[in-house]
Chains A and B, each alone.
Chain A
């Protein structure tokens, strides 16, 4: 199991390199809703090359065959490349922020918990504190579970970003142009 109690094998991570143009996110999101594909999470950020942005999207492959999702995405004119990452072949990170109501007594427990997980306390008030944890999604799941023992006022997760593990080659579209051999004759 991983984030939100969903079986890992249903997850597939696509990192989608898109042109940095107006409305691209709407096109990608619209495609998912139009075709009935479910998204677990979605993160968008510019890349080092400012002509492009990267969308990391975790799709539920039970809602549609991954191949269909990729092929349809590939048809969007602003989508440049799509890499498929199986969870085992990717390094993934996600960020969690939570504001917890804690009496002075409970506060030290929360701070200790954050310390154990390697998180950080970002903000402290009279009766609440805001903490942060970055890590693999399943680590965040564990942390979130333990935090539930306290009064969580607000909790926000970013959705994951991912890159292939070094040495693993992600399957990348376009493969349509990768003609290895001309036609017969």
Chain B
């Protein structure tokens, strides 16, 4: 069967089971847009290519399937660089197809030419410039294979216009020529046994669960491991939902804005079992002061993560699910049971006391302005437990992660490694496209919202009823917080304004319902009104306290021991610190 390159490209996407892609056409990709008219694949026309990329990411994070985006050459391609970088940092499977100027024009500075494979080399798992239409099925199949296996990530396929027009003989590859691409196999028995031995001896263990748990679809395996061992579990920003917050062993989020117990548990641990986590600086704080007494078992599908930041005592390159299953099988006799429970009993007493003494805290009050944390709590309480929450980057993101209760995997759609402002709205749209039966809330900042809000036009046009809660503090709040705490309250270029733009009018102009809440008693009614809207997007402008700060906080570059909690709890945290130091000194004696 003879096809054009463009037809072969769309057919290859169909062969890969793609049901939806996000994109925006232009000159170099025009030939590929023609066969879309007769394809089963749904195309969502975005208003900016960055939106296409983040939608594809949101789709991937909510469904586990690769997200697909299509853009034209030059500016179309460069507009999707930020999502590629974001997906690279968060290991999200993303396949981007870009148009390119005709092969003969490459290198001549032709109209809308950009060396996008060169630009994205460092932020893709791999990329291709397709030289012949005959290669298209093979390249597309390879692209999906690379994006979704091992440590997932973004890939880019750049297709020159003449290649799209050229004829090819259709085939579908039954074997991929990826001589240099290997996946880790089963873990070695000796490593598994060494890990179990450390776990069986630990008195203060912590399971440090990262985003790799979700990528490996290992949430159930993790649950089984936790149930067997009785170990406490922290879930990083990338792993929220990988272990239920309502599980009694869940300590919640560690790191720069983690809660006191999660952060301190890691600091005081004698064993960290790191599963699909990469000792990111936002988790470790100052590395040489991080978890000083802990042995480390480190499991990661990417061997390059092992020993990268922290030397592991047992390092296992492998898929989290495969390795956890191996640990479970090997562990059963050695771990669990009354002896094990007794061994870690005192540790649990310690942890429970920290949770009781130094919980997450903010000052609740009745009048305006609204406390942002209270908005998150109310949203949480008025939403189904399987609601998908997307977030931007800033204070609102940290409050969302801290105060939501994540009880299901794949319900938290967030930009972790890159911290990309503007992620929430398009990512929420992508998540809703992938999971239309779920409620999808974007918890966004006023600054973030202004970066990508125009995608609500896409959502209205395509009837994708996402909900957006703007925690409108009139500031680039996270930056304002740093200037307050570390730059002597010298506020430089962080003020935005509460009512410029008018978010309600803007929402309405984009075909969405616009609502506003200015005092605490208006919060729940506004959310209830929003929840009743099912046929279009809805935006609530919550006027929140501009001076609220995110606590706890480990200042950048400081040790996790120097965690700053809410001022009202500073004394108690100090007492816990002293008590611990006394205990440690006694043990040394």
Contacts and interface: CB of A to CB of B under 8 A. Distances in A.
Given A181-B190, A184-B329, A77 B303 contact: no
Contacts of A174: 182
B189 A77 contact: no
Given A27-B121, A71-B304, A185 B330 contact: yes
Query: Is the contact region of chain A dominated by helix, strand, or loop, or is it mixed?
Result: loop
B192 A183 contact: yes
A68 B309 CA distance: 10
Contact of A75 (B122, B178, B187, B304): B304
A23 B303 CA distance: 24
Contacts of A177: 182, 184-185
B104 interface: no
B182 A68 contact: no
Contacts of A166: none
B545 interface: no
B129 interface: yes
A182 interface: yes
Given A74-B303, A176-B317, A177-B182, A23 B117 contact: yes
B304 A68 contact: yes
Interface in A122-142: none
A185 B334 CA distance: 14
Contact of B121 (A18, A30, A179): A30
A58 to B, nearest CB: 21
B192 A79 contact: no
Nearest to A64: B308
A146 interface: no
Nearest to A181: B189
A84 to B, nearest CB: 15
Name the residue in A79, A182, A185 with the highest tally of chain B Cβ atoms < 10 Å from its Cβ. A185
B37 interface: no
Contacts of A65: 307
Contacts of B36: none
Contacts of A22: 129, 131
B479 to A, nearest CB: 27
Contact of B330 (A30, A79, A180, A184): A184
Contacts of B129: 22-23
Interface string B182-208: 111111111011000000000000000
A77 B185 contact: no
A76 B192 contact: no
A26 interface: yes
Interface in B130-171: 131, 146
A178 B355 CA distance: 45
A3 interface: no
A183 B186 contact: yes
Contacts of B306: 71
A30 B122 CA distance: 7
A78 B146 CA distance: 12
Contacts of B125: 77
Given A26-B121, A185-B329, A176 B185 contact: yes
B180 A76 contact: yes
A67 interface: yes
A106 B330 CA distance: 77
Nearest to A78: B180
B188 A183 contact: yes
Interface in A22-55: 22-23, 26-27, 30, 34, 51
A180 B188 contact: yes
Contact of A77 (B181, B184, B322): B181
Contact of A183 (B181, B183, B326): B326
Nearest to A182: B186
A72 interface: yes
A184 B330 CA distance: 6
Given A77-B178, A176-B185, A179-B185, A185 B303 contact: no
A108 to B, nearest CB: 50
A38 B415 CA distance: 31
Interface of A: 18-19, 22-23, 26-27, 30, 34, 51, 65, 67-68, 71-72, 74-80, 174, 176-177, 179-185
5 contacts: A30-B121, A71-B303, A174-B182, A176-B317, A185-B330
Given A71-B308, A78-B180, 14 more contacts: A19-B179, A26-B118, A30-B122, A65-B307, A76-B180, A77-B146, A77-B180, A77-B181, A176-B185, A177-B184, A180-B188, A183-B188, A184-B192, A185-B330
Interface of B: 117-118, 121-122, 125-126, 129, 131, 146, 178-190, 192-193, 302-304, 306-308, 317, 322, 326, 329-330
8 nearest A-B pairs in the assembled complex, by CB-CB distance: A185-B329, A71-B304, A184-B330, A183-B326, A179-B185, A77-B126, A183-B186, A80-B180
